[in-house]
Amino acid sequence: MGQTITQNRAARHEYFVLESYEAGIELYGTEIKSIRNGAVNLKESWADIQDGQVFVYGMHISPYEKGNIFNKDPFRARRLLLHKKEINKLAGKIKQDGLTLVPLSLYFKNQYVKVELGLCKGKKLYDKREAAAKKDAKRTIDRALKERNR
């Protein structure tokens, strides 16, 4: 993975990530410039398969300040670039197991923008509480060890 642009932290809180895939994304020039400025948000985004193609929805790329008429809709659906075999595999898992595709992060790989796409299963409330309790316990242990080593 290259230079990270943004991450979807909420996704790891809301879902169990079973598998992750790297996908290219189809963008316009002003969107790339806006992404280079860091004006992108993945918080409420998800992906879906339609007609054998994967699209990401809810990804907000702010309009480029100097883009005038060339700016696109910030919330438009953007096509993700995956191999046909991968798309068919994902479609089968989504349909059969009731899983969800969620963009986990956006990053540069060489000059290209890539999306880390996660095949996820939703967490129940008790799973979230359990994860928070584990995180809290680890923080307490780390704090105690740090105090002891002083």
Cα 80 from Cα 114, distance rounded (Å): 9
pLDDT at 81 > cutoff 70: yes
Looking at residue 83, its pLDDT comes to 92
145 within a domain of the structure (yes/no): no
pLDDT at 71 > cutoff 70: no
Question: Which CATH number goes with the domain that contains 74?
Answer: 2.40.280.10
Looking at residue 67, its pLDDT comes to 62
pLDDT tens profile 21-68? 898 988 877 788 888 887 888 888 888 888 889 899 988 887 777 766
53 within a domain of the structure (yes/no): yes
Looking at residue 1, its pLDDT comes to 66
Of 118, 120, 126, 117, whose CA–CA distance to 78 is shortest? 117
pLDDT at 124 > cutoff 80: no
pTM of the model: 0.74
Higher pLDDT, 113 or 72: 113
| Residue 119 lies in domain | 3-123
84 within a domain of the structure (yes/no): yes
Segment 79-104 shows an average pLDDT of: 86
Do 21 and 119 meet the contact criterion of CB atoms below 8 Å apart? Answer: yes
101 within a domain of the structure (yes/no): yes
At a CB cut-off of 8 Å and minimum separation 6, what does 135 contact? none
* Residues β-bridged to residue 23: 115
